[in-house]
A and B are shown apart, each in its own frame.
Chain A
Amino acid sequence: MNLVDMVEDKQLRKDLDPFNVGDTVKIHVIIREGDKERTQIFQGVVISKRGAGMKASFTVRKVSFGIGVERVFPAHSKMIRKIEVVRKANVRRAKLYYLRDLKGKAARLKEDQG
């Protein structure tokens, strides 16, 4: 193992559930307000995963009140409390950017029956 990987290995969030592009996930994000701490849930479809090691991140897209919202999370961030996989989907690409141009029925993904 090279030294960069060795340093990163201690920081990686191996406790988080694995997920794939296309999955619908609930991200429990820690929000700090002053000295108070609460959890906010961001639910949406993972449309992209990029990078490796500590630099990895993923993008979650949801449609909120008719407006598309995308949020990029560092995959090993301390601010993620938990990741829940709500639904697995069968997709044929690594990046689902085409979902940005679709809405309603067309923006559905085929469920992965396993």
Chain B
Amino acid sequence: MVEGLIGKKIGMTQQFDDAGNVIPITILKAGPCTVIQMKTVEKDGYVAVQLGFVEERGVRKPLKPQIGHFKRSGVPVVRKLQEVGCSDPAAVKEGDQILVDIFEVGETIHVVGTSKGKGFAGVVKRHHFAGGGASHGSMFHRAPGSIGASSYPSRVVKGMRMGGHMGDERVTVRKLKVVATDKDNNLLLVKGAVPGAKGGYVLIKKGTFVSPRAK
């Protein structure tokens, strides 16, 4: 059993549950994925499955080593490869297709994505500092304020929250609920938001899976 899938964020909408409440929905295109390579204890020291996200358009001019890597799975070279855990490696072989039906409605999943880049952000946006008053002669607006004492310790302590690059990093959102799956269109509907922009790649992991290494 493969414990995850590669997906793409399509966008958000809303639906109504049976009680009539509005629930926010993220639409993900999950799969179809093909098993490109099996990672085994003998060869690699751990068990995992390398999945390839098969899209309409693959890599236009693949390199020779890439072609060799994809040969055994029988699919053209894809853009996105990702390793996911596998609880029963004997049942999976290279070239197998993994579809959304590995997820059930109501199941808990974790979604990993790359958050939207915010560029160089100040402390108000980056660390939720309160900032100062805008008017009434206030001369302190969005500056960080004091970053430490003077002659002792004569340096800024490590980890001081300051302005800097924000976003465009790996973010995991845990414990999202699957609202619906659509095998014909490879769609997965998830309650809540998922990191990243529309069209961004995400990794969808089963909430129940615990890696053997973590045990």
Contact = CB atoms under 8 A, between A and B. Distances in A.
Interface of A: 3-4, 6-8, 11, 30, 32, 53-55, 74, 76-79
A76 B14 CA distance: 10
B16 A76 contact: yes
Contact of A53 (B13, B19, B20, B29): B13
Contact of A4 (B10, B16, B22, B182): B10
A32 B19 contact: yes
B11 A4 contact: yes
A7 to B, nearest CB: 6
Given A3-B10, A53-B13, A78-B20, 5 more contacts: A3-B185, A3-B187, A4-B10, A54-B13, A78-B16
27 contacts: A3-B10, A3-B11, A3-B27, A3-B185, A3-B187, A4-B12, A4-B27, A7-B13, A7-B25, A7-B182, A7-B189, A8-B13, A11-B15, A11-B16, A30-B20, A32-B19, A32-B20, A54-B13, A54-B14, A55-B13, A74-B16, A74-B22, A76-B16, A77-B16, A78-B16, A78-B20, A79-B16
Interface string B3-42: 0000000111111101110100101010000000000000
B100 to A, nearest CB: 13
Contacts of A7: 13, 25, 27, 182, 187, 189
A77 B27 CA distance: 20
B185 to A, nearest CB: 7
Contacts, number: 40
Contacts of B16: 11, 74, 76-79
**Residue with the greatest number of chain B CB neighbours at <10 A, chosen from A55, A74, A76, A78:** A78
Contacts of A74: 16, 22
Nearest to A11: B15
A54 B15 CA distance: 7
Contacts of B189: 7
A-B residue pairs, 4 tightest by C-beta: A79-B20, A4-B11, A78-B16, A3-B10
A6 B185 contact: yes
Contacts of B25: 7
A109 B93 CA distance: 71
Nearest to A53: B13
Contacts of B14: 54-55
Given A3-B10, A3-B187, A7-B189, A77 B29 contact: no
